[in-house]
Structure formats: C-alpha cells, structure tokens
Amino acid sequence: MTKIFTKYTLIISITTFLFSACELISGDSDDDNSNTTVDKLHVKFINTEGSEFTISSIQILVMGVAGELNGPDGEFSDNILSEGTTIAPGNHYIFDFEIPNSYYSYARLGVINSENNQIILNEQEGYTNQYEGTITHWGGDDRTVNVTLIENKTTGLIMVRSWGEWAGIE
C-alpha cells in the first residue's frame, strides 16, 4: 500500500510541477509582475512665483520607458485641471494620472494671455517646442514639477523659461 501511495504522490507532484512550469513559460500567470502595470503618479504642479502667466490647461501624453525613444502611447489627455481651475504664479495644483512605473510623459500647457484669452503654447505661430517638459514616473509614486512662464520680448511668444521635476512632493 505504501508503494502505491508513494507512486501516486510522485505522479501528482511531477504533474503539478509540469503545469506550473508551463504556466511560467507561457506567461499566463495571473500573478504578472511585468514592468508595464499601470500605476498612479501623484503630482504637485507648481507655477513658480517668477511666472508671468496663469496656467489654464495641462495635457499629458504618455510616451514609454524613460531613456528610450518611443512613439506616444496614445494621445494627449484632456485638461488635467478641474473645470474652471487655473494655477496663478506662486500657486500649485495636485493631481494623479495613470502611467506605468519607469515611463515618462510630455506635458502641453495652456495659459491665460494679457488679453484674457487661453493660448496653448505650442499652437502659437512661430513656436518651436512640440512639448513643454517631461513628467517621469520613477524614484517613487510622488513627483514635483515646477515651471516658469515668460513672454519673449523679441518674438512676443509665451514660452517656458524653466522646467524642473523630481521625485517626492515638496
């Protein structure tokens, strides 16, 4: 009886091992811990005191793994700012968006100009930047971004004077 029990135990163990190995090889595991799982990034977006314009729109375009030149992963998002919300110089806005860990994104900004009209920066005639700056999901799930916006006195274009981003919330 012990030989039969040992024989069946051995067969069941080998069968279980083979099914587990097949699952690992095929990648059909429900426990997929790949690098592309979508995570939320918590962002504090600061319009610095040195800015000359109020931000009225932030749109995000997820690009792919940081350090690699990828095409966009979709299209620009709708405005991240809540309806009617703006970020005046010296103020900030906190938001979350979905982006896999180690991915980067580009931001496109809209501002209120001196005539109280919304201007999307890269839609200005003669504007050369396609995107304003990056927001990267690495070093943690919290990110601080700051931007300074000015009017170029020579061209009259509203542009980004400085853009910074780092891990953590300040």
1: Cβ contacts below 8 Å, ≥ 6 apart: none
Amino acid at the residue 42: H
Domain borders along the chain are: 1-32, 40-167
**Strand ranges, E, within the chain:** 40-47, 54-65, 91-98, 103-112, 118-120, 133-136, 142-151, 158-167
Instruction: Give residue 13's pLDDT.
Output: 43
CATH topology of domain 40-167: Immunoglobulin-like (2.60.40)
Whether pLDDT at 14 is above 50 = no
- pTM of this prediction? 0.76
The pLDDT tens digits for 130-152 are 788 999 999 899 999 999 999 99
